[in-house]
Amino acid sequence: MSETVETPHPLEQLPGDLMMWVLIVSELLVFGAGLAAFLAVRIGDPAGFAAAQDHLHRAAAGLNTVVLVTSGLLAALAVRAREADKRLRTRCLLAGASVLGLVFLVIKGMEYADKAAAGIGVETHPFFTFYYLLTGFHAAHVLAGVIILGLVGWKDSPRSVEVGAAFWHMVDLVWVLLFPVIYLLR
Amino acid sequence: MLRNPLLRAWGLLIGLCLASTLVALAVERTSFAGLAATGAGATILLLAWLKARIILSEYLGLAAAPFWRRGFEIVLALYALLLLGLYTIPVL
């Protein structure tokens, strides 16, 4: 007698909430289009973009990458902890992820203050128009993510924690693409 | 070796972040120009693609959903190629 093993439908394989994935894909499309537009505009003035980029603090942005990636780890560990019904550990991990999100925003705020003090604004150069637009929009997502992590830490059902962490990983994912394109590519 | 896949992913991400920053600093501090600078840029984009793959696979859990992981990886690879193309146009 042969046994048939049913493979789940692809939609059932998708981890977490389908609507969260719709949000993740739509956010990736928005940021993806922004980064592609940035490189397309750079074609007309690569030297000007390189000179403008020299005003950025690459090491601080690199540190922020470490902060965000570590925050993502804590959020992912929180999902595992909630699945294991370790609620206190879940909340501590989510709090840690939120604090690192705030550290990211503080470093970003210092970066903006530094630019403002140097008289660099949105209209200084097209590079900075994209810089403020893309990093500012991303920072708004980080702030939203910190609030969401706080909410799912409070209402900590396994599904809420998984969805909140997925949003946070999307923020993480956008940054690992945005950071090299804006800060590192010469 | 780290047994927890999440910790392993984190370690890889940190390593890749450091590598891309070091490549960029090397370009800044030396007189890399032309093809050498473009090669460094392509390396930075390759490292970004690897980082994005790790986040999708391990942090977002697509490692457990091979169908979706393949789909995301194909789209991500095509997008990385688009960025690489736009980046290299000025030196052609």
Read off the pLDDT of residues A25-65 as tens digits, 9 standing for 90 and up. Answer: 999 999 999 999 999 999 999 999 999 999 998 888 999 99
Distance set, CA A91 to CA A46, A74, A86, A136, B60 (Å): 46, 10, 9, 28, 19
**Residue count (chain A):** 186
- Domain ranges, ordered by start, for chain B: 5-91
**Which residues are within 8 A (CB) of B62 and not within 5 positions of it... i.e. 6 or more apart?**
A15, B56, B68, B69, B72
- pLDDT for the residue numbered A11: 74
What does the DSSP 8-state code read for residue B61? -
CATH number of A18-184: 1.20.120.80
**In chain A, which ranges are continuous DSSP H helix?**
10-13, 18-42, 46-53, 58-83, 87-117, 126-154, 158-179
Check pLDDT > 70 for residue A3: no
Question: Chain B interface, mutation test: which of A20, A24, A31, A39, most B Cβ atoms within 10 Å?
Answer: A39
* CB pair distance less than 8 Å for A43 and B82: no
Average pLDDT score over chain A:
93
Q: Is the pLDDT of residue B92 over 90?
A: no
Q: How far apart are alpha carbons B27 and A185 in whole angstroms?
A: 9
Amino acid at B32: F
Nearest-angstrom CA–CA distance, B9 and B51 = 9
Give the number of other Cβ atoms within 10 Å of residue A54's Cβ. Answer: 9
Degrees to nearest 5, angle at CA B58 with B53 and B61: 105
State the Cα–Cα distance between residues A177 and A169, nearest whole angstrom: 13
Q: What is the pLDDT of residues B2-60, one digit of tens each?
A: 789 999 999 999 999 999 988 888 887 776 667 788 889 999 999 999 999 999 999 99
B27, B67, B83 member nearest A13 (Cβ): B67
Q: CA-CA distance, A27 to A48, in Å (whole number)?
A: 29
Rounded distance between C-alpha atoms, residue A78 and residue A167, angstroms: 13
Residue environment code for B37-70, b if the CB has 16+ CB neighbours within 10 A, otherwise e: bbebbbbbbebbbbbbbbbbbbbbbbeebeebbe
Contact B83 A186 (CB under 8 A): no
> Distance (Å, rounded) from C-alpha B14 to C-alpha A146?
22
Instruction: Tally C-beta pairs within 8 A across A and B.
Output: 117
ipTM field = 0.91
- Give the number of other Cβ atoms within 10 Å of residue A1's Cβ: 2
Looking at chain B, how many residues does it have?
92
Contacts of B68 in chain A (CB under 8 A): 10, 13-14
d(CA B34, CA B75): 29
Q: What is the pLDDT of residue A40?
A: 97
Mutate: best of A35, A171, A185, partner B, most B CBs <10 A: A185
Q: What is the pLDDT of residue A105?
A: 97
Domain boundaries, chain A: 18-184
> Per the CB < 8 Å rule, is A15 touching B52?
no
